[in-house]
Amino acid sequence: MTNPHDIIIKPIITENSMEDMADKKYTFVVNKRANKIDVKQAIEKIFDVKVEKVNTMNMIGKVKRMGASQGKRADWKKAIVTLTPESKEIEFFEGM
C-alpha cells in the first residue's frame, strides 16, 4: 500500500463528525488492511498536515432482509484522525 489514495477511501460527513471537526478530529473510511501508521502517513501526505493521533475501528456490516432473502452489508474500517494544534484544518468543501 504505497499510494496514500489507496489507504484513504473517503471522508465520513455526518453530524457527529462535523462537530468533531471543531476539535480537529476528522473521520475517514480507510482500507481494511491499513494500520494506524499507514493512515497517519497517508493523511499527512494527502492533506499536508501533522497528525497527532489515529484511532481505528473495524465496523461490522449489518444483516439486511428484503422479503424472504437475507444478505449482509460489507465490513469496513473507520479511522478518526486528530491533528496537532498548530496544523491547518482540512477543507472538504473548498469548491462550493
Phi, psi (deg, nearest 5) at residue 16: -65, -40
Helices (runs of H) and strands (runs of E) counted in the chain: 3, 6
Supply 9's cell numbers: 477511501
The full set of domains in the chain, from first to last, is 4-64+72-83 (3.30.70.330)
pTM score: 0.88
pLDDT higher than 60, residue 96: no
- In angstroms, the Cα distances linking 23 to 16, 27, 44, 50, 87 are 12, 12, 17, 14, 12
Q: Render pLDDT for 56-88 as a digit per residue (tens, 0 to 9).
A: 999 999 999 999 999 999 999 999 999 999 999
Q: Render pLDDT for 33-50 as a digit per residue (tens, 0 to 9).
A: 999 999 999 999 999 999
